[in-house]
Structures are given as C-alpha cells and as structure tokens.
Structure 1
Amino acid sequence: MNLEMQQFKAEFFKALAHPLRIRILELLAEGDKNVNEIQTLVGSEGSAVSQQLTVLRAKNIVTGTKEGNKVIYTLKDPMIIELLAVARQIFNNHLVDTITILDKFKEEEDDVLTQSKN
C-alpha cells in the first residue's frame, strides 16, 4: 500500500510539473472555464492549453463536461485549491529565508567596509 501511495503521489506531482498546468489550475480554482476562456486568460495558444488540459484530465485532476459546443473544465477535487495555497506559502517561506540570508550578507559586507575605512 505504501508503495502504491508513493507511486500515486509521484505521478500526481509529475502531472503538476508544468507552469502552464499550474496556471490553468489556479484559474480553475477561481471557477469553471472553457478552453477559450483559459486560453485568453493565460495568453497562450489554444493547442498548448488543450495539450495541458489533456494531461490534467488523464490524471483525473480536472474534468470536462460538454455544454453545447463547449467543454467546461472543473477541478476534480477542491483540495487542489488548498494544495496550490500551500505551495504558494512554501514559496513565500523560501523567499523570506532567502531575504534573511541576503540581509545577513549585506550586514556583514557593511561591517567589512566600515572596518576597512577605520
């Protein structure tokens, strides 16, 4: 069971491992959209958006429902919204750590410059 779960997680994260797919998921977190809406919002070619939606559908991350001549895409699991929020927080934490390190380097550099002037 543990190996199956690890395999699922690896495949799941592999499906998320593309900036356009992440952007599509962020847009769908705001509400259901069709391909044309997604294409307009991301400013990408329709074929690129369709290709990424195909990957997300194949991994059961999004679903598509035909309405008239359009397919409306929806997040399969609303937990995706939380996952994206957690990823954003992890990114912010890394930024804070990086800024802290850079501030320390600057302080050390300022100290060295001050000492060399004396």
Structure 2
Amino acid sequence: MQPPLYQLKAEFFRMLGHPVRIRVLELLQDGPMPVRDLLADIKVEPSNLSQQLAHLRRAGIVISLRQGPTVLYALAGPDVADLLRAARRILTVLLADREGMLEQLRQVDVVAGAVSEV
C-alpha cells in the first residue's frame, strides 16, 4: 500500500532539511558544478559533501554527469529551482514581518524610556 501523499511530502521536506543540501541546491541553480567548486564554496569536509550529495542523488533531485575525469552535479530538473525561489519569497515575507515587529518593539521601548525619564 502506498503511503499517503502528505507523508511522502513530509519525507521530501525532511530530506531537504540540511543546510549543506540546501546550499548545494542553491549553487546548482546556476548550472552543473564539479565537486571541487562545491567544496570551495561550501567549505565542509569532502566526506560530508559526498554524503549530502548521495542523499540528494538518492532522492532524485540531483544527478551526476561525467566529463572526462571530472564528475559534475546538476539539478535533475527545474522544479527544484522553482521550489527554492518559492522558499525565498516566503522567507522574505516572514522576515519582513519580523523586522516590522522588531521596529514596533523598538518604538515602544523608546516611548517607555521617555515616559520613565519624566
């Protein structure tokens, strides 16, 4: 019996729930990259990057291509880049709202400080 769709979605998002994996996907939005370039940008141990790339490949959202002695990694399709753009838009709104709340709190602190000085 097939698991419910919501459970599959939860597993998919759980698989994405690692900062190195997200950074790899962000970098691959610009096109295929060799491991050495990913390592230079992400600055993790090669074994850690290899492990995270393996997770992404097993999930089917990253593919590997061989060009002579070099292995390149690429997004399996444009949907992953679309998902990352959607996440960026959502976070932009959430963080903008948070910044607005912080500004309101600062203004209340300033007014409260002025009242206590009187």
* TM-score normalised per structure 2: 0.88
How big is each residue's C-alpha offset from its partner over 1:73-102, in whole Å with a ceiling of 9 and x where there is no partner? 110121111111111122221211111111
Could you say which residue in structure 1 is the equivalent of 2:31? Answer: 31
> Is residue 69 of structure 1 aligned with residue 69 of structure 2?
yes
Letter in 2 for 1:106: R
- Residues 28-67 of structure 1 aligned to structure 2 (within 5 Å): 28-67=28-67
Could you say which residue in structure 2 is the equivalent of 1:101? Answer: 101
Could you say which residue in structure 2 is the equivalent of 1:83? Answer: 83
Could you say which residue in structure 2 is the equivalent of 1:9? Answer: 9
Could you say which residue in structure 1 is the equivalent of 2:115? Answer: 115
* TM-score normalised per structure 1: 0.88
Secondary structure of the structure 1 residue equivalent to 2:44: coil
CA distance in 2, matches of 1:3, 1:97: 36
How big is each residue's C-alpha offset from its partner over 1:4-31, in whole Å with a ceiling of 9 and x where there is no partner? 3222211211111000000000110011
Letter in 2 for 1:22: I
Secondary structure of the structure 1 residue equivalent to 2:94: helix
User: What's the offset of the Cα at 1:116?
Assistant: 2.5
Letter in 2 for 1:116: S
* Structure 1: gaps (5+ residues): none
CA distance in 1, matches of 2:68, 2:7: 37
How big is each residue's C-alpha offset from its partner over 1:53-87, in whole Å with a ceiling of 9 and x where there is no partner? 00000000101122222221110121111111111
Letter in 2 for 1:48: N
Question: Which is further off, 56-65 or 33-42?
Answer: 33-42
Secondary structure of the structure 2 residue equivalent to 1:30: coil
Superposed CA RMSD in Å reads 1.9
CA distance in 2, matches of 1:70, 1:15: 26
Question: Which is further off, 7-16 or 50-59?
Answer: 7-16
Letter in 2 for 1:12: F
User: What's the offset of the Cα at 1:3?
Assistant: 5.1
Q: What is the aligned-residue identity percentage?
A: 36
